[in-house]
Amino acid sequence: MVLGDSLKSSLKTLAYLRPLNHIHMKYGLFLFFSFAIISISIAQEAEQAKVREAFENYKNSILTDKGNEAVNWVDSNTLNYYSEMLEVTKHADSLEVNNLGILDKMMVFTIRARTSRQDILSFDAKKLLEYSINEGMVGKSSVQNLDIDTPKISENKASVQVITNGQTIPISFGFQKENGTWKIDLTSIFPTSEEALKNVQESSGKGENEFIIWILEMTMNAEIGNEIWQKVE
């Protein structure tokens, strides 16, 4: 069977177009993946900016003594910690307090020494943190010279290295995205803070309890009594 000239011509045209279609498909896929990568990068940068905004809002709230605003920029881990410490402050006896780590013990001693019984019993976690900020228990010096590097984001969690006085240090803040808002997880630096505080205490030559009371008496410019060992009920 002999092919007609018209059919032969059509087949030649198809044979010519096949590689062109292949090229167009490759080009289309290249454009698709390029746009996808660009879109992901833009979205990532937008989230990084929101993490930085959360840090700046928390920092500015501390520096301006606005505890009521600062509590809106801390995450559920932070509030759970303050809730636990509030319960320990109220109900733990001297033996239980003595068995706490140095950071938690300093927290309990500080609350008992610097807060009235009435306030302690009326506080929830947010009110305790707000009070701590307004009363200088969370000091401005803790954030004054702090900045953060570029956040590393994985789904609803972020980690960002801390910069102090222009120098990057081996400490990272954690952030969580809760109800669409990035919030700082203060507990993320507690292990490092605990270790640093313990090192300072040991270097001082004082025992742990003696060291904490010594720090409190210096900061409060007052003598600390046995009430810090007693339950608040």
* DSSP string for residues in 7-28: HHHHHHHHHHHHHHHHHHHHHH
pLDDT at residue 44 above 60? yes
Provide the number of structural domains found in the chain: 1
Confidence of residue 4 (pLDDT cuts 50, 70, 90): low
Residue 25: the pLDDT is 58
Tokens of 147: 């900045």
pTM of the model: 0.80
Burial of 189 (0-12, 13-18, 19+ CB in 10 A): middle
Tokens of 215: 């720090």
Domain range for 70 is: 5-229
Q: What is the mean pLDDT of residues 16-34?
A: 54
Amino acid sitting at position 231: K
